[in-house]
Amino acid sequence: MSAYGAVSRREAERLILAGRVTVNGEKAVTGEKAAPGRDVIRIDGIELTYKKEPVYIMLNKPPGYITTVRDDRGRKTVLELVSGAGARVYPVGRLDMHSEGLLLMTNDGEFANAVMHPSSEKKKVYEVDVTGDAAAAARSMRKPMDIEGRIIDAGSAELIRRTRDGGTLRIAIYEGRNRQIRKMCEKCGLTVKTLTRVSIGALGLGGLKPGQWRRLTPEEIGFFI
């Protein structure tokens, strides 16, 4: 009952001993276990309403993990990386198995919808190591591109580092279609070596290392809602 914020633990014990508490219609006894949000707990016939504490975290997803809750093929999922979060959280959006970088996770459905809804217009920035003519590709990506029958418009694309066989592109998009960055690169004749999401809106990876996660600050939560 204390998890519901209804009474203190000591007061809960007093109410149970007084016979004023029921669990799933049966009179409660001290020491009995009940799961908040699953079992129906009443005090004097009034049902308690459980509100789970919202959790908001950011993960630096390493490659090799899939962005789903479970996988019937036995592949590693991002939930394994955040098992210490103290709550069951879910990915907000996706990064494919071979991509890495910033991934938001939460148990707050309204927050997730606010982040993913197209009206939010949150810019997502990626750094992509490629082989091929990266400079020409950046110029092409700054114009609308037809990707599988859809017109895709990158917010920006620039070559930030040259290599002998290609370079590193920084690409910003406002949409998040499936494998959009990889398809844009393929359209330009590039081969992607690594793909890292470095920011979503005003939130960046900072010093978070691959596989590490942390809770968002109230200010950071405010970036999205």
Per-residue pLDDT of 170-185, as tens digits, reads 999 987 778 899 999 9
Task: Give the predicted TM-score (pTM) of the model.
Answer: 0.77
Measuring CA to CA, how many Å separate 186 from each of 89, 138, 179, 181?
33, 12, 11, 9
What whole-number distance in Å separates Cα of residue 208 and Cα of residue 30? 45
Measuring CA to CA, how many Å separate 215 from each of 11, 22, 30, 197?
32, 36, 35, 18
SS (H, E, C) 183-196: HHHHHCCCEEEEEE
Q: Report the domain count for the chain.
A: 3
Q: Are residues 27 and 76 in the same domain?
A: no
**Which among 8, 50, 186 has a CA at the least distance from the CA of 195?**
186
Q: Are residues 191 and 206 in the same domain?
A: no
Q: Are residues 43 and 87 in the same domain?
A: no
Query: Whole domain around residue 41: which residue ranges?
Result: 2-47
The predicted structure's pLDDT at residue 109? 83
**Beta carbons within 10 angstroms of residue 161's beta carbon:** 12
What whole-number distance in Å separates Cα of residue 140 and Cα of residue 189? 11
Q: Are residues 138 and 188 in the same domain?
A: yes
**Which among 85, 90, 87 has a CA at the least distance from the CA of 105?**
90
Q: Are residues 195 and 137 in the same domain?
A: yes
Per-residue pLDDT of 76-88, as tens digits, reads 999 999 988 888 8
pLDDT lower than 70: segments of the chain: 1-9, 36-37, 50-51, 118
For the annotated catalytic residues, the residue numbers are 96
